[in-house]
A = this chain, B = another copy of it.
């Protein structure tokens, strides 16, 4: 191999950055074989030079001075692993302007500033590689941008947030409460101290946005589709779904319906024998439907030091080979196109699971089903679990759960029915309404 080494800078030597540095320094012969030339870490930019690191780097590599990267023309590729929006945006723009190709695992950055960053890359004739930004260990960017290139993708269903999936798995497999599963996820490092963006669906929605842009060439802001999280689920929902033959997953979906895009991120009932329902713990999964190949299914660890570092390193190798440059040129991404319109949320449809707490008295069932019927929602099953016989207390109504599975209905129909149900004095507050996957 006579090709010169690729000189690399890593900007941000946290968990993932350390993982990348370790792969490159501990397996140099592997990297040469796969990349066709050595990859040398010339600089690793950190904030705190005194902090102990889990990786051995030669003297002079560690630096707090980003300018030593920007001004070094021998460094042709930089890996942005700082995370967050600022100064990540400014750093990436400066790296591109200085003529470096950039690898990033920063999903929030691409979601927020993808337009600007991709335009800057094109302007400077540079490449952005970002396989690690969505679904870490799953090569989903390669799948959509390359392996399925003969297809129009017509649908995708995905589990994209490992924290939520870990919590749901614990609730399902170990009958934990939401709160105790969340605490355990935090203890194990699967959830942040402030887990809001993970458990309220925002993180999955941002990733879905990137996938949709790749798969459908359309930029859809998070506000344009339904996003809800798992933070309102209770153990009883998991149990009721199980009894009906379903698992509950935080599902990100997008599909073409009569030329329009129906998208959502929400807790969804998935039939137990489907692979999505079998995706447990910190794993992510993506099911792609192509108009030629049919369904193709991917699963792997969605985040974490090594899965993410594996994806980042594959991108570095792709840049060393020259393949990432060709891929980036062809990517139909963050362009001006917006060919596929998004279906307004009220027109999207799904089957639904409803859990109501109702008073155990005559005619309640008739009132509830009358409201659904008048909204043209037809029922596929109704379950009122047998209530224990209790001594009636004067003036206190006994309450019982009522589980309803509907046939397909639009979000508009469901919202209208739900508003009417809210007015029934015999239906208690705290109605649960979950989508059911096709």
Q: Which residues of A contact B (CB under 8 A)?
A: 19, 23, 27, 30, 33-36, 131, 137-139, 142-143, 146-152, 273, 275, 278, 290, 292-301, 306-307, 309-311, 313-314, 317-318, 321-323, 326-327, 329-330, 332
Interchain CA distance A309-B220 in the complex, whole Å: 31
Measured between alpha carbons, how far is A314 from B144 in the docked complex, in Å?
Answer: 11
Asked if B150 and A317 sit within 8 Å, CB to CB, the answer is yes
Q: Are B278 and A310 in contact (CB under 8 A)?
A: no
Residues of B within 8 A of A137 (CB): 293-294, 296
User: Is B150 within 8 A of A139, CB to CB?
Assistant: no
CA distance A330 to B35 in the complex (A): 7
Least CB distance from A143 to B in Å reads 6
8 contacts between A and B (CB under 8 A): A142-B147, A290-B310, A292-B309, A295-B300, A296-B298, A297-B299, A323-B323, A323-B327
Beyond A293-B301, A295-B300: 6 further Cβ-contacts under 8 Å? A139-B143, A142-B146, A150-B309, A296-B298, A297-B299, A323-B326
The answer to whether B300 touches A293, judged by C-beta atoms less than 8 angstroms apart, is: yes
- Which residues of chain B are near A318, meaning CB under 8 Å? 146, 149
Contact B292 A296 (CB under 8 A): no
Are A292 and B310 neighbours in the complex by a CB distance under 8 Å? yes
Expressed in whole angstroms, the Cα–Cα distance for A156 and B416 within the complex equals: 51
**Partner of A30 from B152, B299, B313 at Cβ < 8 Å:** B152
* Least Cβ–Cβ distance between A37 and chain B, in angstroms: 10
Q: Is the CB of A139 within 8 A of B147?
A: yes
Query: How many Å from the CB of A299 to the closest CB on chain B?
Result: 4
Residue of B nearest to A293 (CB): B310
When chains A and B are docked, how far (Å) is the Cα of A318 from the Cα of B27? Answer: 29
Kindly list chain B residues whose C-beta atoms are within 8 Å of the C-beta of A35. Answer: 149, 330
A278 interface neighbour in B139, B278, B307, B332, Cβ under 8 Å: B278
Closest residue of B by beta carbon distance from A140 = B147
How distant is the Cα of A143 from the Cα of B300 in the complex, in angstroms?
Answer: 12
Q: Which of B273, B301, B313 contacts A150 (CB 8 A)?
A: B313
B147 touching A314 by the CB < 8 A rule?
yes
Residues in B whose Cβ lies below 8 Å from that of A322: 326
Indicate whether A314 sits within 8 Å of B34 (C-beta atoms), given known contacts A273-B278, A327-B323: no
* B149:A329 contact, CB within 8 angstroms: no
Min C-beta distance of A32 to chain B, whole Å: 11
Q: Name the distance in Å between A326's Cβ and chain B's nearest Cβ.
A: 5
> Which residues of B have CB within 8 Å of A321?
326-327, 329-330
Q: Tell me how far the C-beta of A100 lies from the nearest C-beta in chain B, rounded to whole angstroms.
A: 20
CB distance from A398 to the nearest CB of B (A): 38
Q: How long is the Cα–Cα vector from A263 to B151 in the complex, in angstroms?
A: 34
Q: How far is the CA of A299 from the CA of B33 in the complex (A)?
A: 28
